[in-house]
Amino acid sequence: MTAPGPDPDPVPGAPRHRTHPITPLVTGWKVVVGIIAVLTAQNIAQLANEFTIRRALIGLGILLVVVLVAIVLSALSWWFTTYAVDEDGVSVHSGMISRSREYAPRARIESVSIERPLLARLLGLAKVRVEVAGGGESYLDIEYVSSARAEELRLGILEVAAGTSAASSSAVPVEGAPADGTGAEA
């Protein structure tokens, strides 16, 4: 989704933000459920026939380790994922080892929607989806911010797309810790 032409980050001082701090918990559970589903579906008969308390405790211990690893990996992913909205468009930077940048230039933004999956809705969070004209992957997601912040982002991105003002989208309160590590809100 990277736009050809000028550098997608023309404003080096554009404030970058992180999503909500509990995003790792919302995204990390998917890995755990997937592993449990695969192991259980493939071995349900054998697990039922060979059930003992000792094996159940070992299984729970392994499950606990998997949950902790999933949470740590999700937290690292969260730490290295930032987004910015400026007068030229929307960008999302991500990746721990291999950095990637998704960019939605202002001229190609078609629509902005807010999605609230069940778990995120229960926690008061939402995903902002920016639909982009053209390209293979025609959307950019900012996962997950508070519902109020999602609405502010949506309105700010729509203002940017209309070309009216990006100042109000930069002035909204920061959801999580600032990406620059200074501790100051942008």
pTM summary value: 0.69
**Bond prior to 144 in cis (omega within 30° of 0):** yes
The pLDDT, as a whole number, for residue 44 is 75
Q: Is residue 185 part of a domain?
A: no
Structural domain total, the chain: 1
The pLDDT, as a whole number, for residue 148 is 93
Closest by Cα among 153, 173, 178, 156 to 165? 156
Question: Do 128 and 114 touch, CB atoms closer than 8 A?
Answer: yes
CATH code: domain of residue 171: 2.30.29
Position 184 confidence tier, pLDDT thresholds 50, 70, 90: very low
Tell me the residue range of the domain where 116 lies: 15-179
The pLDDT, as a whole number, for residue 135 is 66
Q: Is residue 186 part of a domain?
A: no
Q: Is residue 143 part of a domain?
A: yes
Q: What is the mean pLDDT of residues 15-27?
A: 86
